[in-house]
Amino acid sequence: METYVPSPSRYDGALFRRCGRSGLVLPAISLGLWHNFGDDRALDDQRAILRRAFDRGVTHFDLANNYGPPYGSAESNFGTILKRDFSNLRDELVISSKAGWDMWPGPYGDLGSRKYLLASLDQSLTRLGLDYVDIFYHHHFDVTTPLEETMGALDSAVRQGKALYVGISSYSDERTKEAVTILRRLGTPLLIHQPSYSLLNRWIEEKLLTVLDEEGVGCIAFSPLAQGLLTNRYLGGTPEGSRASKGTSFPASMLNGENLVRVRALNDIASERGQTLAQMAIAWTLRDRRVTSALVGASSVAQLLVEARGCAPPEAAQHESPEVTEVLRTRPRLAVAQSRARHRITTLGESREMKITRLFVLGDLGHATLWFS
């Protein structure tokens, strides 16, 4: 078996940013394992991406309990590669996981209860082959569980030695402030928020970034490439084998004429700058110092290298150019149904069926919204 020897120059020129007012820094670009690390991808390909990422100074790998497919497989595969290639490098890595979306059948397999979150964390640690994760997130706000219970579970994860820090994802600005207050009272500060954010999805600029800055909470942006829409892949429509062609998390309806016109115009601007559209999109996301890191995915080593070069020095992209401003003058209407689950919920003695749909309305709401029926 080939022995992995990391590049001795992996930190040369690597950009790191402090996460809020904590002592932790994260790379400007972090690697997300939402796609491309399930059992539908060759383990050797996954291994090559992770190794090359680390060789380029990417020290943060982001997972969740239900990443795959199937659910849990991304953590299992990452755990296998971690043991094989990174076992002696654990202290150079920041590994995160999350719980909140549907993971197993029955009423205890998702949402925000103490029972679900702590059980899910134990399962994640088993799949990863770790004693602890660096960051444990609640994956989305749960209206059916008191926030005190959910934040209390995160606090317990730290006190039990199973997580070093805690975070939240896709919370509104108001819920974020509530979470900060509860966790501060418990003695476990909120480290980081993980919202969606991109050129086409700017909901966090209205209030959330200000809240995070005031409270000293870091921000790591997921989907900075709008699930691939902000790349050259869809300039000519929907290519065979793309995420949109499979109709899973990226429905082809997103590729309407209005959106394609906008993306092609942004691509022209990037070309004039000597960048790819993906590189410009990542650099744009990082132009705001309140954004700690951009969370990118990669299906190949080549794609990873292209995206990594998009991380320009902060001073190179502090302001949005007039050309980009004009293209983004009208907000895009993009909706992506992410996952669905049905649960039997008993509230005050009354049983009702609740349908939960994870819906991102990019450019309008931009965060996970729960629709009940």
For the stretch 299-333, pLDDT in tens is 888 888 877 776 655 555 556 788 888 888 865 55
Long-range contacts of 244-248 (CB under 8 A, 24+ apart): none
- Select from 122, 98, 120 the least CA-distant residue to 109: 120
Measured CA to CA in angstroms, residue 83 lies from 7, 130, 192, 370 at distances of 18, 9, 27, 38
The answer as to whether 119 is a domain residue is yes
7, part of any domain: no
Q: Which of 366, 356, 321 lies closest to 223 in space, CA to CA?
A: 366
Residue 338 in this model has a pLDDT that exceeds 50: no
- Name residue 141's amino acid: F
Domain annotation covers residue 339 = no
pLDDT at 68: 98
Please state the pTM of the whole predicted model.
0.87
Residue 342 pLDDT greater than 50, yes or no: no
pLDDT of residue 314: 52
- Say whether 99 sits in a helix, a strand or coil: strand
Could you tell me the two tokens for 139? 């994956």
Q: Is residue 118 part of a domain?
A: yes
User: Which CATH number is 132's domain given?
Assistant: 3.20.20.100
Mean residue pLDDT of the chain comes to 86
- Cα distances from 68 to residues 103, 125, 132, 209, 335, in angstroms, run 11, 16, 21, 30, 22
69 lies in some domain? yes
Give percent of the chain with pLDDT exceeding 90.
Answer: 70
CA distances from 246 to 238, 355, 360 (A): 10, 24, 18
Write out the E strands in 58-159: 60-62, 94-99, 133-138
As for how many domains the chain has, the answer is 1
- On whether the CB atoms of residues 63 and 75 are closer than 8 A, the answer is yes
Residue 348 pLDDT more than 50? Answer: no
pLDDT at 340: 39
Listed residue (138, 294, 170) closest to 223, CA to CA: 294
Whole-number pLDDT of residue 300: 86
Strand partners, 119: none
- Give residue-wise pLDDT tens across range 56-114: 999 999 999 999 999 999 999 999 999 999 999 999 999 999 999 999 999 999 999 99
Summarize pLDDT for 245-265 with one digit per residue, the tens.
Answer: 555 555 566 677 788 889 999
In a domain, 130, yes or no: yes
* 10: in domain: no
Determine the pLDDT at residue 358.
Answer: 38
- Identify how many contiguous H helices and E strands the chain contains and give both numbers: 11, 12
Asked if the model's pLDDT at residue 203 lies above 80, the reply is: yes
Q: What are the residues whose beta carbons fall under 8 Å from the beta carbon of 92, sequence distance 6 or more?
A: 59
Task: Inform me whether the pLDDT recorded for 127 exceeds 80.
Answer: yes
In a domain, 215, yes or no: yes
Contact between 265 and 219 under an 8 Å Cβ cutoff? The reply is no
Residue 293 has pLDDT above 50, yes or no: yes
Q: Cα separation of 208 and 217, whole Å?
A: 11
CB-based contact 22:191 (threshold 8 Å): yes
Residue of 28, 10, 11 lying closest to 19 (CA atoms): 28
Q: Tell me which residue range forms the domain holding 317.
A: 16-331
Pairing between strand 16-18 and 25-27?
Answer: antiparallel
CB 260 within 8 A of CB 267: no
**pLDDT > 70? residue 244:** no
Q: Using an 8 Å Cβ cutoff, are 111 and 71 in contact?
A: no
Evaluate whether 277 touches 232 at the Cβ level (below 8 Å): yes
DSSP state at residue 203: G
